[in-house]
Amino acid sequence: MKMLEERIRKDGIVREGNVLKVDSFINHQMDIGLFEEMAKEWKRLFAGKPINKILTIEASGIGIAAIAAREFGVPVVFAKKSMSINLDQDNYRTQIQSYTHGKIYEVIVSKKFLTKEDHILIIDDFLANGCALMGLLDLVRSAGAAVEGIGIAIEKGFQRGGELIRKQGIQLESLAIVESMNENGEIVFR
Ligand code: 5GP
């Protein structure tokens, strides 16, 4: 998606450790006009799929997923980071390794909001090694729900997540795929 690529080129900052900072329009300050265009693009790409719910993960997926949910006319559920002390049986749980913080944390979704009747579109801001998506897929499968597709804003194509997901036969639509980037601010898109 040209508009997103141009914005990343203009305002994205490459940090050490292969981290792309997009704080000024996605991860801290949010450009809702841009989110609306992204949502329209996902609507076009997933046309004809019987999506009845969007699933994302807190915190940075929530903004884009909320705008996408309005475009699709469906509710959005976000997986919550939880304390493992809480042994509530009414949740599906899984563990995710954080790319940016390195820690392993547990996320939960209430069984009330994810069921076998659901046809899920997963939305997230970044795809790197795929840990966050693997966790979300695990939650959807635990519920017996169907995964209709995955929409990602920025995929880092030089990390292995995209390949892992596409190998599973899931429709994965990343609106910008970074092929390479360096700390001089040179960013090449696929
Ligand atoms: P993964 O689980 O695919 O390795 O990483 C995905 C998650 O890590 C995303 O939800 C995002 O929050 C974070 N992440 C991974 N790479 C980057 C990056 O380059 N920049 C930012 N801002 N977040 C990232």
What is the per-residue pLDDT across 43-54, written as a single tens digit (0 to 9) for each? Answer: 999 999 999 999
Report the C-alpha gap between 126 and 132 in whole angstroms: 9
Query: What are the residue ranges spanned by the domains of the chain?
Result: 2-189
- Written as six digits, the tokens of 126 are 């970044």
Radius of gyration of the chain (CA): 16
Mutate to test the pocket of ligand 1, among 96, 99, 137 (most ligand atoms within 8 A of CB): 99
Q: Which residues contact 19 (CB under 8 A, 6 or more apart)?
A: 100
Architecture of the CATH domain 2-189: 3-Layer(aba) Sandwich (3.40)
pTM to 2 decimals?
0.95
pLDDT surpasses 80 at 117: yes
Provide DSSP, 131-149: HHHHHHHHHHHHHT-EEEE
Mutate to test the pocket of ligand 1, among 100, 155, 156 (most ligand atoms within 8 A of CB): 100
pLDDT at 137: 98
User: Which residues form ligand 1's pocket by a CB distance below 6 Å?
Assistant: 19-22, 27, 60, 99-100, 124-132, 156, 161
Give residue 17's pLDDT: 87
Sign of CA dihedral 115, 70, 40, 190: negative
Identify the pLDDT of residue 20.
97
How much of the chain exceeds pLDDT 90, in percent?
A: 87
